[in-house]
Amino acid sequence: MKRRVLIYLKFSGLLILMVVLFAFASKRNEQRKINEVLIEFVEEQDPYVDEITVNKLLIQNQDRVTNVGKEILVLNTVEQKLDAHKMIEHSDVYLTVNGELRARIKQRTPIARVNAVTPFYVDVTGNTMPLSDSYSAHVPIVHNVSEREVIQVFPLLKKIQEDEFLKKHVVGVYLNVEGNYELELRVYSFKLVFGKIENLDNKIRNFKAFYQKALRDKSLEKYKKVSLQFSNQVVCTIK
């Protein structure tokens, strides 16, 4: 009987000790300040938003985040602030046991710039985003297209962004008065009439075949207009 009482007392004492240690550690953790802020941009992206901007978004109650106790730092709120920024696609904010506040930032990716009264980017999801104060994206410029027409031209912009050949050669997209899209090429001066946003894969395949043949024949400079708008053919106009 005495042995059972002794075991019970030892177990109770150990439990009390664990509770005290946990409470002490929690209190100490609450009082510990954040001693460093580390910002990481995931993937290799151009700097459309910089560390200074992110650091400002990490500030709470107008105090520097490095002086804020862990107990008053609400990480979900901080993430929501970052995710609401027009240049940020996703963020992940967390604290380390060493008192470091870490923020992993995934930026939005622009694939075209629309030359409107107030210029803007179109991102990889088809949504619009403002221009960056930190960096100017090297993407095709879209002319004569309004914000509401972005959804119409987006499939073509996405194809240009995904296709290495088009990405290398196409620097501009223009909607002409006839409602057809024209592509401006980086090197060659001929007008490339793409037509309506339809049969994209077929038109791109036809253009690549034409380009390779004309390149071998050294005839690319002879044309003033190349049209892809007709089914299964490339119609060329000589200068």
Indicate the domain borders of the chain: 31-107, 110-238
β-strands 110-114, 141-143 pairing:
parallel
pLDDT classification of 65: cutoffs 50, 70, 90: low
Mean pLDDT, rounded, for 54-72: 60
Average pLDDT of span 191-213: 94
Q: What is the mean pLDDT of residues 77-104?
A: 85
The residues, ordered by sequence, that sit 6+ positions from 121 with a Cβ below 8 Å of its Cβ are: 110, 111, 112, 113, 114, 128, 129, 130, 131, 137, 139
For residue 187 the two structure tokens come to 């090197």
Q: Residue 44 — φ and ψ, nearest 5°?
A: -90, 105
Share of residues in the chain with pLDDT > 70 (%):
78
Stretch 59-63: mean pLDDT: 50
Nearby residues of 25 by Cβ (< 8 Å), 6 or more positions away: none
Most confident of 24-28, 196-200, 230-234: 196-200
In sequence order, what are the residues at sequence separation of 6 or more whose Cβ sits closer than 8 angstroms to the Cβ of residue 4? none
| pLDDT interval class at 21 (50, 70, 90) | very low
Per-residue pLDDT, averaged over 193-222, amounts to 93
Top pLDDT among 38 and 138 is at 138
Three-state secondary structure call for residue 41:
strand
The class that CATH gives domain 31-107 is: alpha beta
Q: What is the pLDDT of residue 152?
A: 95
Strand-strand pairing, 141-143 and 170-175: parallel
Top-confidence residue, 99 or 219: 219
Checking if the pLDDT of 18 tops 60, the result is no
- The verdict on domain 110-238 having CATH code 3.40.50.11690 is yes
Residue 20 has pLDDT above 50, yes or no: no
- The pLDDT of residue 26 is 47
Mean pLDDT of the chain: 82
Q: Is the alpha carbon torsion for 137, 138, 143, 145 positive or negative?
A: negative
